[in-house]
Structure 1
Amino acid sequence: MKTLVVFAHPTPESYNASIFKVVSDELETKEFEVQVLDLYKENFEPRMSTAERRTYMDKDNTATVEKYVQQLQWAEALIMIYPTWWMGPPAILKGWLDRVWLPSVVADFGPEGVKPKLTNLKKILIITTQGASRWRMALIGNPPRKMMRLSLKAVTKCRDIDWLALYSMDKIAKPQLSQFLDKVRQKIQRF
């Protein structure tokens, strides 16, 4: 399976980097074709330029991000690893979504509504860490999860969108951190 792994954390010694390593190691044992996009290492520019915004709805508007569009269109599976900050992904990942997941790339918009174009994506796995507790997030409807799942489903028609979150990130002990890495390992083994 052609798998694109997108990683978004600025610190190489972070817990998210540990998750990324587990995912990478497990994918190596599979007979998958894998492309990795480490947005910070790549020095991805998250800010949309004035020119990009002016051509946002145009059909031929991918020149500045063509390499990333090709990765996205190549993939059959997408794994995103990132921390949730202020109820959303880091700015660099949000910028990748804004600049690469262009209307011309992800869907046709017309009188009949949205017709997805990223139907090549058959599996999506989001792995994130959050400072908030699971219960707090459930109480408010887990906006980060809803936003990602609904947005991704609308432009991919993917039915296999999985969300794996480590909640209360700043309050848990090392054994729980290890247990979550084991959970990630098992998830990738079954992926």
Structure 2
Amino acid sequence: MRNKVLLLTLSCICLFIVVNANFVHACSPIPWNFEEAYESKAMVYGKVADISEDGRKVTLAVTSYAGPGKAPQTIYLPETIDNRSKYPAGNACPDFSMKFKSGEEYVFFLSDIPPNLKLLSPSWITASQVENGQVVVGYPNGETDSLEDRLQAFAQSKDYTIQSPNDHSPVWGKSDKLLVPSMIIVGLRIMLGRI
């Protein structure tokens, strides 16, 4: 009888731990490490020059680039995505996508470059903050390592060289911003030409 009570007690404790562990982790972000970013087509390091869409959309002044083609001098990055609308009904998990602040430095992970510029994980970790040459390489604990070493390791794994932009470097993502004003100007010229 004593063994049955002990076994029942241990079973209840284990069940309680398993149920609580699943409940707690249901809304916790999964751990992340920098090696996951090696799935990127390119990595770009720079300073956030401007933000919009509540910090979700960034204009990045590029410092270093590891990827195909020529290093850009400025990138108008696509915005990060709040995926909570896709969660099941009744799910109260927070938004795990990133928001940025002007003046901060990040290394961004790109799944594609222009003409199809895309962030690696727009609703999750798509960049890692950099301070004093140290980049965050793990979450949730915030471990850091040398940005230079991490960029070099990524570049070597893809046979890239790390590049810095110059005055003749391209600007990425700006064409979308100019499309509507350009269409308006062309439309006005056509209308005025007919009058």
Q: Give the structure-1-normalised TM-score.
A: 0.24
Higher helix proportion: 1
Which structure is larger by alpha-carbon Rg, 1 or 2?
A: 2
